Amino acid sequence: DLLVVGSANADLVVGVERRPAAGETVLGSDLTVHPGGKGANQAVAAGRLGARTALLARVGDDAHGRLLLDSQRAAGVDTAGVLVGGAPTGVALITVDPSGDNSIVVSPGANARLTPDDVRAAAELLGRARVVSVQLEIPLGTVAEVARTLPPGARLVLNPSPPAPLPADVLAACDPLVVNEHEARYILGETGEAGEAGETGETGETGEGPEEWARALLALGPRSVVITLGAQGALVAEDGADAVRVASPRVGAVDTTGAGDAFTAALAWRLGLGEPLAAAAAFAVRVGAAAVTREGAQESFPTAQEVGAL
Ligand code: ADP
């Protein structure tokens, strides 16, 4: 089974003509509320593909928590591991201006209360997992506990988003570490500042591209590395082997929100079925590509049939 350990947020979205200055009020469009958060997104993406998936997460005892549980169940995800209470459900307050630029305030809420103890209490759920997929919208100590208590033979898939410094033992457990270009640059320490890792492209300060990043990331300890490259697909690298490029199908991109989550969930699922990394990535780029052809995050995730039709 696939176990996703991660965040669940309600995304509250309002369109505005322009953002309010301090002390100012502006009127916005009607509010839309969407289930989101990287953990919840990954679980829904996997569930919709038909993967046997469980989610370990924490939500509040409130309407947003019920929205998130409903979306998981609609995708066929096992929600017995979703803990309820302790703080309000995590929320992302998102304003979108006419050019499509977002401003986002995240209130982690219950996500910040998913503790290492919660991981230990979920030993049965972990014990059933062949692959455990985690991200960094929950406390790092909780991620580290997952890495420590991984059942024998199970794989850890980590997407370090939002990027943060990773302890060596967590890095060493990753198989693979899944990063986009921004996260790759952050972990390689080009700036040391999340959110300021510079523009994407193949010539950063080091003048290096994804192949060199993959080699440098492998040197930090993970057993394998996957770098997602947007429309260019992905690059996979394993210790002792040459890095392999995996092309994404050409699609008309409408909204890339959640593409990385869909990619990572698909990859984790196929690894759990025993596929080699490059084959799992070849499937995952198709899932990511399908997800960018529709608006939204969870709303955009494809079924296996839709991936097949791509
Ligand atoms: P993130 O959303 O984490 O930044 P990427 O932008 O690299 O991640 O996208 C993840 C995956 O989604 C890519 O590997 C690719 O398969 C797919 N994808 C993203 N953008 C596009 C695009 N414009 N065209 C086709 N596929 C895309």
Q: Percent of the chain at pLDDT above 90?
A: 91
**The pLDDT of residue 195 is above 60:** no
> Atom 21, ligand 1: which residue's CA is nearest?
231
Asked if residue 36 has pLDDT above 90, the reply is yes
Residues ≥6 apart with Cβ < 8 Å to 71? 35, 40, 44, 298
Query: In the structure, what pLDDT confidence band is assigned to residue 205 with cuts at 50, 70 and 90?
Result: low
Residue whose Cα lies nearest atom 1 of ligand 1: it is 260
Average pLDDT for 19-39: 97
Q: Phi first, then psi: what are they for 50, rounded to 5°?
A: 105, 5
Q: CA-to-CA distance for 264 and 23, rounded, in angstroms?
A: 41
CATH of the domain at 184: 3.40.1190.20
**Which strand ranges, in their side-by-side order, compose the sheet holding 244-246?**
82-84, 53-59, 2-5, 131-135, 155-159, 174-180, 224-228, 234-238, 244-246
Q: Which of 39-53, 72-86, 191-205 has the lowest mean pLDDT?
A: 191-205
List the helix and strand counts (H, then E) for the chain. 11, 13
**Has 261 been labeled as part of a binding site?**
yes
For ligand 1, whether the C-beta of 163 sits within 6 Å is no
Phi, psi of 176 (to 5 degrees): -105, 170
How many domains does the structure of the chain reveal?
1
pLDDT range class, residue 208, cuts 50, 70, 90: confident
Pocket of ligand 1 contains residue 302 by CB under 6 Å = no
The 3-state DSSP class for residue 34 equals: strand
Pairing, β 2-5 against β 32-36: unpaired
Where in the sequence is the domain holding 131, given as residue range(s)? 2-20+28-308
User: Which residue bears the tokens 């979205």?
Assistant: 13
- Between CA 38 and CA 137 the distance in angstroms is 7
ipTM of the complex: 0.97
Radius of gyration of the chain (CA): 18
- How much is the average pLDDT of 196-203? 42
Q: How confident is the model at residue 197 (pLDDT cuts 50, 70, 90)?
A: very low
Q: What's the 18 CA to ligand 1 centre distance in angstroms?
A: 28
Output the pTM of the full model: 0.94
Nearest to 82 by CA among 114, 105, 108: 114
Residue nearest to atom 19 of ligand 1 (CA): 230
Tokens 């839309």 belong to 32
Is 263 near ligand 1, meaning CB less than 6 Å away? yes
Mean pLDDT computed over every residue of the chain: 94
The predicted structure's pLDDT at residue 42: 98
pLDDT tens-place string over residues 153-189: 999 999 999 999 999 999 999 999 999 999 999 999 9
Q: What is the pLDDT of residues 69-109, one digit of tens each?
A: 999 999 999 999 999 999 999 999 999 999 988 899 999 99
pLDDT at residue 230, as a whole number: 96
207 or 53, greater pLDDT: 53
User: What H or E segment, with its residue span, contains residue 13?
Assistant: strand 9-15
> Is 61 tagged catalytic?
no
Tell how strand 53-59 and strand 2-5 pair up: parallel
